[in-house]
Structure 1
């Protein structure tokens, strides 16, 4: 043990700790300074940034034995507080810089150090600073962070006032469509918002800390599990195995497709008979400290019989491959698409045919905050599970039978989440903490490190796609044939739905009267497939948008012009790949708005680049539906309070995208007749004890489906309050008249499921966008730098400009990673942020521009469609097309790392 005296935020603190304790943990656990976040734990993300003796440092890797007595430390708490915010924090709010907010305190401290050393930094200097100090953000796309730094520096120099940064309420008091800061903004920029690990420090005395025993192979039979040595280790309360689980010990995939050859009961909570993937949980050690739990976990002995590991779909589809789940074929679901006439005669007569094979990789979500959760039994004996779940009611149904708990005795709560981007559409640790709590009868806490985040949680399912297009010589599309394979890992949950997306989105946006194709879902031993932003569109639309460029080249037509020639037009009654008319025809206006943007980037690309570099421009059209297919449904409630305010109860789950602002903006607009201030609308969100089932936050459905349920609840309250003269009753008048003060609302999408041929009207609203990218390619190395990105989007009416802009910029940044660097193929190599290819600020262009075409949606909430999925539909396609335009290298197997670009150039 060592003793240290530190001067923290101007106050002397005496600390006694272990030599090898990290400074980040000491600040968090001993001083309660939870603005210091631990993300990667290896100095690669900057979320733990603090200032030490005037220098910016990452504290997660700094051991206390290296911290001298009387060291001066500044954390976010020492820069500004909720009652007295610093200009940096105000600027961050003004520009929407805090989305999930987990990385925000680290950026605030980093910015403070930057401006102290450079009071007037340029945009390039700001980007260089964040790159040098490894400040990583997965949400924002970085552009608005640079904007915030410049404005904060201007205020600190006296060139701008703080008042210039503050939101000004419009005269009509309407916040819908404005830049009103999200309700959690103040807490996020001051580092006072509690995420899962922060709440873990505030759990009751006696809370057990958990550590997992995990598989280090990808496929094996379990011979034995010996916990005896681990159970004798210091501080261990219990080692939980499958034998301690009272239910089915399975997470159910809730299979609803009748043609699925599996039953959905294929994922063990704790491995009992087999290991299906690297990282599978075998046992949970519950101890008095994390250190003791991890030490004991290392003593659990697991004897295995190694089996063949099928690490990709082609391997699992080989004739001699064994069934990964005995009794269920490795190809367990097929989805046809059959629209219009048979395509064979069309291809026989076609003047022009192009075809290609394409691969989109196993993209890791890479939130800065690793997965985290805890569980306890409440005073009513109900099991309460807190996690990053973005589908609380869904996950309760998926894990309750496996745990042996009745649904009415299971409460699910979402903690504030440091980003999920879709991986939490699947339950991850929810069943694990539930099992540990039930087995011990005590509160339990489990926090993954970032290695576990990578190796245990789901990833984007890789797709192998073959496409053929038939066209006339003048560029008219005549027909398409396509086959696609979804490598969904070992667990079937939502694999069939994801495969259906191929039928719904390959060729979306274009007049394609005749389509034939077949999709297959394949079980493998690589990481299980979970939802990721875009859910099917980045995988299936990628190849099509690259092939459109190949067709344009063959025809001698500009790629922009070929696309514009073939887009949906109302005058021709064009239909989607599923055979229905889109809800709005807006693509002509999108292309009209996009043409000058395209010509601008095209002109830039034609200019001479630096010696050894070539420039190119690429375009791609992206489409996505807002919903979960068919009559997607949500419910919400609102209550009138005695002081005239209201409380909104909703499960609008938050990946970090701004669910709080989504609910507030939607409800405030619906309640305008009452003249409420935004502060008079209180939010109770994402707790199944209090909130009705809003459905999961997936498929960009929340603004449409949950939003319409919120509007319905608000209208029901207004109807109950309305007097004959169209004024409204007060709370006292309502109660005196025995009128209900709490009202629910429900909405179901006017949509239908797709049939066996992929035909139907699955979504009430869609999102549309045209992506334009400008790149520079270094000819000697094949290294690609994206320099410019333009997105011309129609997502209907905009709820909140800050939130929507943030979604767009963040999606574009993830598109850069998908195109060029991100992968989770090599389990060891790709288990770190750097190894997995997370784009830092210098890999993402600062020159990004958004243009909105706000076509009102007939079925949207206040005319709005969704937003989150759209910006990651096809930005990677536009980048790949730009690379070819620059240097003639056509990469069809992502990511387009330098060696692939170089090989394609030589080819």
Structure 2
């Protein structure tokens, strides 16, 4: 290796360094110099997180070879723009406009904005969007609108059109903080590039840290592993150990929980490292651990395997065939199911057959990849407290501890999990395979500290995805357009492993045709294992698959009747007295008022689209209803602690894991509201979060639950603390007075959902149940333009009326809305992980750029206070990523008459439909999918073979009352 001494002028100062001119990039050099504000996401120059200025021009530093840069060139990074005590207006604008969520892409956007405003001090919004499109700045969290808002605000300040204070959030003088757009506590570090994400932490670990990388053979989706050849790798420079399954003392499995009695899987099917079979393309057979990441990566190339091809079933339809071999020996490929029976129940098909209007179709929702800009990186070491400590992107810290314990064989009390500043996961962070890998490497390497690094293509191959779904459905209406009944058969492809699969199928069983009044239904949702990527949590978990079918059928019915799609929905939304498909009342009924809010907008946009539509560029408008549950229902708990500190401030302890959604500001506003009698301000609250050594278990950042559950728990803790502080005269004791009187200053409380209300798990025979204390609602509308020459569809306008209860922080909810809806647009049009080679990066997998998302992006918040929550709040995030994709799909059909039955709506699919219409041919849905057995025979089998006894074994004695199958259904 031949090295070079170089000097670059970085942020105004000459910096000398030694580099490898052939291998080092500008990003690797400046990060090695400690300037870790420059983030490396994709590693291929696509995402823009590594953006810096080189000699006055923007460059993507992760692909710029250092050997091709002239010495003494000038480099500007995020650290050279502003620091915490000397913020640049751009940084202030990003903080106060809500443009910072996970924050991983933020430094790149700020550097890019700096360059833009130097070149063009007065850009229009469209010029800002063009700039980010040209310079490839990608954000997966925000939906871009708040970023453009921030740029426009910063430009005004820099032109002296307004003062800096004019673009900043003002704290209310009356101390009524709830609902206000308080700046996120973590935003300051993120806009300055000082938030240390996983790769930054790895770079700054002690010099004796070992580095682990994956060995992913990527030879087959299903194969028998006959031998691992690691001898050559072990001889490579710096290699400490090649870790295989044989080196793991524990079970080499994650934990497994059964969610429904109709589950045929008896345990966890997910090996952390391959033992004797490869189950999918991204499976890991070994970890190479070396003194440097580069040495580990080179050695990993030397590990080879002997393998024997086994039958591959890459889709549900293949795995469900009667002659398909079992993928896992302990259970069949179709391994769990959840029925829905309501009203006429098993006689519903006959009602449908005899109805005046019937539509039917088969629909497919794709394997959507999460595509955070930050991939995955994990650190593990033994702490001086005697705990094996794992730093990761955890989104359910205590469950992740259980998974690591299960995999390694260590007792859970010996494991500590810390959530790093997280560049988003959108759900896949709930799975702990890589967290366990780092722990395994540490234990296998004589307890040496280990940093596990994963390239973005490896991450894409390894990580779970949204489970694809195949659905056959029918819908019937009477002469007036009122729904008579519905039936569906939904098969969900859960990929190679089964964790959460039988929980996933309860979501379509709640949200098929939500929130309409369906008086009669017969439905079945099934899950199967295949040899593709395993299904895991993703925002909206399980509901987009349901809406893909039900919202298409609603539009198809409107067309068949000759009724406006909006009017059909208005006629059939649930109203007080109507029940959901689980035969319980909707807990709220805001639907009619929400549609009343949307109606004038719909009429205006529909009229404008019709006027502006041309034969070359056809425009249309689509509507879709969506929504989601709040909390994990009968299983859910939340524990928090509040402590009065010696300086008079209050510490809030929780595991409100911040995945970018704002766990920090959520904890802040709920604590301020709970302690409002004390007159506290944001400066009085100290947040101690997401470290299991100090923080109690607040549950997962999932199921739109944290704000709702934390509100409950923090009020309980605040009441206990304030009662202890309160003197007989009504004033409050100081910390010193509390200590002097021997009164505790810290109070930990736990809220459990069933304590306040009767929740009922879904009956395994009928789907009857009441498993959630609240719902969220979202009415989506999209305006789409279709290029008839190419078939490309572009969403040019979007509107969403939501009801998430009383909003705790408006900027955070807006951010979740814009972000979730942008994922919906991508899900409809471009996003897919099917081809493991083509889709192995964010560009190939179809991540939306800023010009793919409309700037005409509109949110209308309708508020129905929730009477089950002390602040009237509900959840927020997942309603926004439930059904929005179908508003886009329905708009395509409205624009050009092409109904897309199988996502995504690639241009070639739309063009094929347009060509068929031009030839006078009809666009027909796919033939009914075969989902494992005849639907009617399977429903009859379930009817004649009810399951109840397994509930006795599944649930703890003191909770059985809440979990019993339901026999009495309320009026």
CA distance in structure 1 between the partners assigned to 2:254 and 2:501 by the alignment: 14
Take 2:164 and 2:606, find their aligned partners in 1: how far apart are those partners? 40
1:557 aligns to 2:557 (yes or no): no
Cα contact 1:208–1:288 (8 A) shared by 2? yes
Paired residue for 1:220, among 223, 247, 251? 223
Distance in 2, Cα, partners of 1:485 & 1:22: 48
Structure-2 residue corresponding to 1:284: 287
Match of 1:903 among 912, 937, 941: 912
C-alpha change, 1:389 and 1:224, in structure 2 (3 Å) is same
1:706 aligns with 2:706: no
Measure, in 2, the Cα distance between the counterparts of 1:237 and 1:861.
55
Do residues 648 (structure 1) and 657 (structure 2) align?
Answer: no
Counting only pairs closer than 5 Å after superposition, residues 233-272 of structure 1 correspond to structure 2 as 233-272=236-275
1:278·1:455 contact (CA, 8 Å) conserved in 2? yes
How many Å apart are 1:421 and its aligned residue?
0.5
**Cα distance between partner residues in 2 of 1:790 and 1:234:** 57
Q: Distance in 2 between matches of 1:142 and 1:86?
A: 20
Q: Tell me the residue number matched to 2:476.
A: 470
Query: Shift of residue 443 of structure 1?
Result: 0.5
Cα distance in structure 1, aligned partners of 2:239 and 2:31: 21
What CA distance in whole angstroms lies between the structure 2 residues aligned with 1:28 and 1:71? 13
SS of the counterpart of 1:134? coil
User: What's the CA shift string for 1:850-907, capped at 9, x where partnerless?
Assistant: 0001110112351111111111111110111111111000001000011111112233
1:673 aligns with: 677
SS in structure 1 opposite 2:612? Answer: coil
Residue matched to 2:516: 510
Match of 2:608 among 593, 604, 608: 604
**Aligned counterpart, 1:754:** 762
1:351-750 alignment, distance < 5 Å: 351-440=356-445, 441-570=447-576, 573-609=577-613, 612-749=616-753, 750=757
Cα deviation 1:336-394 (Å, max 9, x = unaligned) = 11122231332243111111111000000000001111000112332111100101111
Counterpart Cα distance in 2 of 1:74 and 1:504: 52
CA contact (8 A) 1:215 1:275 kept: no
The answer to whether the 8 Å contact 1:119/1:153 transfers is yes
Query: Please, which of 312, 317, 324 is the counterpart of residue 320 of structure 2?
Result: 317
CA distance in 1 between counterparts of 2:253 and 2:820 reads: 34
* Partner SS, residue 148 of structure 2: helix
Shift in Å, 1:224: 0.9
Q: Could you tell me how far 1:608 is from its partner in structure 2?
A: 2.4
Alignment partner of 1:800 is 2:809: yes
| Equivalent residue in structure 2 for 1:791, among 797, 800, 821 | 800
Corresponding residue of 1:857: 866
Return 845-854 or 445-454, whichever deviates more: 445-454
- Name the CA shift for 1:230/1:691 in 2 (closer, same or farther; >3 Å): same
Q: Secondary structure at the match of 1:398?
A: helix
Cα separation, partners in 2 of 1:861 and 1:781, compared to 1, 3 Å: farther
Equivalents in 1 of 2:260, 2:401: separation in Å? 20
Maintained 8 Å contact 2:397/2:417? yes
Distance 2:294 2:117 in 1: 39
Contact 1:22 1:60 in 2 (8 A): no
Q: Is the 8 A contact 2:491 2:525 kept in 1?
A: yes
Out of 100-109 and 718-727, give the one that drifted further.
718-727
Tell me how large the CA RMSD over aligned residues is: 1.2
**Equivalent position of 1:848 in the other structure:** 857
Report how far residue 631 of structure 1 moved: 4.5
Q: Tell me the CA shift for residue 532 of structure 1.
A: 0.7
Runs (5+) with no aligned partner, structure 2: 917-971
Partner Cα distance (2:26, 2:554) in 1: 51
2:812 is equivalent to residue 816 of structure 1: no
8 Å contact kept, 1:601–1:788: no
How far apart are the structure 1 equivalents of 2:28 and 2:870? 47
On the 8 A contact 1:713/1:743 being kept in 2, the answer is yes
- Partner of residue 880, structure 1: 889
Q: TM-score, normalised by structure 1?
A: 0.99
**SS of 2:727's equivalent?**
coil
SS in 2 for 1:760: coil
Q: Deviations over 1:217-256 (max 9, x none)?
A: 2111110112222111110111111111111111123224
Shift of 1:44: 0.3
Shift of 1:485: 0.3
- Does the 8 A contact of 2:315 with 2:530 survive in 1? yes
Aligned-residue offset at 1:125: 0.7
Match of 1:166 in 2: 168
1:223·1:303 contact (CA, 8 Å) conserved in 2?
yes
CA positional deviation for 1:712: 1.6
Does the 8 Å CA contact 1:703/1:861 hold for their aligned counterparts?
Answer: no
Q: Distance in 2 between matches of 1:705 and 1:340?
A: 33
Deviates more, 1:654-663 or 1:168-177: 168-177
Does 2:905 match 1:890? no
Query: What residue in structure 1 maps to residue 958 of structure 2?
Result: none
Deviations for 1:741-795, whole angstroms, at most 9, x for unmatched residues?
A: 1111221223221111211111111100110111111111111111100000000
Task: Select between 736-745 and 759-768 the one with higher mean Cα deviation.
Answer: 736-745
Give me the whole-angstrom Cα distance separating, in 1, the residues matched to 2:288 and 2:450. Answer: 10
**TM-score, length of structure 2 as denominator length:** 0.92
1:329 aligns with 2:332: yes
